[in-house]
């Protein structure tokens, strides 16, 4: 478990309470309707699904069976909901909105969309994606706690090639992680940014590859194969990093898998990566992909003396 600072925890709690208040959840009704917050959520979830049962609804809303039953009864009495037997299972009841329910859903959606658009209009244009990514990750993490599961980021998409922002984002992820883990500073961040930028200009050459893990619209991991800087028969695995909060969920393994598969397809005799002593979790990941420690020596290529390690993965 990562150690969160008290100020971070307090800040998230304060922002969460403010969000609940500003969205109107403290009021008895929500979204410009005469419906309770739970009823509004129920109308939305039923309207978004072609075939949803009471059990499905309870799971989505995180409500007990008795609470769902009372909620559905109120919606039926308000002529917003119709219940029919499922064609697949007569014991299951399929929920569907009535015409009045569909009109209510349209009004709810219009209210909510205007609320979001008005908020977005009051913030810098590039902050919308930050809001989306932050809310999505936090909500997913809270759901993972309830289900007693590891946060799943399988939805992270692996994107090949250059992507706007990838150079700066890779430099930022490296700088933050290695400042904390090894005390690297400005020299290291500048080195990453400069060399990555130079490499990006060579991505049109077939021996070079770059992959980004993208969650929502945010880059949460990178890896590259430089097939030119170590001679014609060796590939150099570089800039392999996963952002804080995404490690241990398979993102790094997927990125590394793409990179070594690329090397195998192009027929490199070996793939080389440089690391340093003490990165035990990363070393286990390298070794699981077929890398072996070939050399270990003191060095300061990253701006501070560490015991540098050269790992090699021979061709399969």
pTM of the model: 0.65
| CA dist 2 → 121, 182, 222, 244 (Å) | 35, 17, 21, 9
Work out the pLDDT band at 154, boundaries 50, 70, 90. Answer: low
Q: Are 289 and 275 in contact (CB under 8 A)?
A: no
Q: Specify the pLDDT at position 204.
A: 96
What CATH number has the domain spanning 157-314?
Answer: 3.40.630.30
Per-residue pLDDT at 93 exceeds 80: no
> 194-244, pLDDT tens digit by residue?
999 999 999 999 999 999 999 877 899 999 999 999 988 999 999 999 988
Per-residue pLDDT at 104 exceeds 80: yes
Q: Are 306 and 182 in contact (CB under 8 A)?
A: yes
Label residue 81 exposed, middle or buried (CB < 10 Å: 0-12, 13-18, 19+): buried
Token duo for residue 276: 């340093």
Q: Are 298 and 307 in contact (CB under 8 A)?
A: yes
> 18-63, pLDDT tens digit by residue?
999 999 999 999 999 999 999 999 999 999 987 789 999 999 999 9
Measured distance between the N- and C-terminal CA atoms of the chain, rounded to whole angstroms: 36
Q: Are 310 and 294 in contact (CB under 8 A)?
A: yes
Q: Specify the pLDDT at position 131.
A: 86
- Residue 303, sorted as left (phi over 0), alpha (psi -120 to 50) or beta, turns out to be left
For the chain, helix, strand, coil in percent to 5 are 50, 20, 30
* The CATH number fitting domain 6-122, selected from 1.20.1730.10, 1.10.260.40, 1.10.10.10, 3.40.50.150: 1.10.10.10
């Amino acid at each position: 478990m990562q150690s969160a600072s008290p100020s971070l925890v307090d800040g998230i709690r304060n922002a969460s309470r403010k969000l609940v208040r500003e969205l109107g959840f403290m009021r008895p009704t929500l979204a410009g309707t005469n419906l309770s917050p739970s009823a509004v959520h129920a109308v939305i979830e039923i309207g978004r699904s072609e075939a949803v049962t009471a059990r499905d609804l309870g799971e989505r809303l995180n409500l007990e069976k008795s609470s769902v039953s009372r909620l559905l009864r109120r919606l039926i009495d308000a002529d917003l909901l119709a219940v029919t037997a499922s064609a697949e299972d007569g014991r299951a009841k399929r929920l569907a909105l009535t015409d009045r329910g569909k009109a209510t859903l349209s009004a709810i959606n219009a209210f909510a969309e205007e609320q979001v658009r008005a908020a977005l209009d009051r913030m810098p244009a590039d902050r919308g994606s930050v809001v989306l990514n932050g809310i999505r990750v936090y909500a997913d993490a809270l759901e993972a706690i309830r289900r007693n599961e590891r946060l799943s980021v399988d939805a992270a998409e692996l994107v090949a090639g250059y992507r706007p922002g990838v150079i700066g984002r890779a430099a930022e992820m490296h700088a933050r992680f290695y400042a904390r883990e090894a005390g690297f500073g400005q020299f290291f961040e500048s080195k990453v940014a400069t060399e990555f930028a130079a490499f990006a200009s060579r991505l049109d050459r077939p021996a070079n590859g770059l992959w980004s893990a993208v969650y929502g619209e945010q880059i949460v991991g990178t890896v590259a194969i430089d097939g030119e800087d170590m001679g014609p028969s060796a590939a150099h695995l570089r800039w392999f990093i996963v952002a804080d909060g995404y490690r241990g969920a398979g993102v790094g393994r997927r990125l590394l898998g793409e990179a070594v598969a690329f090397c195998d397809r192009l027929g490199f005799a070996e793939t080389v990566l440089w690391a340093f002593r003490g990165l035990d979790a990363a070393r286990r990941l390298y070794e699981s992909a077929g890398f072996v420690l070939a050399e270990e020596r003191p060095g300061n290529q990253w701006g501070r003396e560490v015991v540098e390690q050269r790992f090699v993965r021979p061709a399969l």
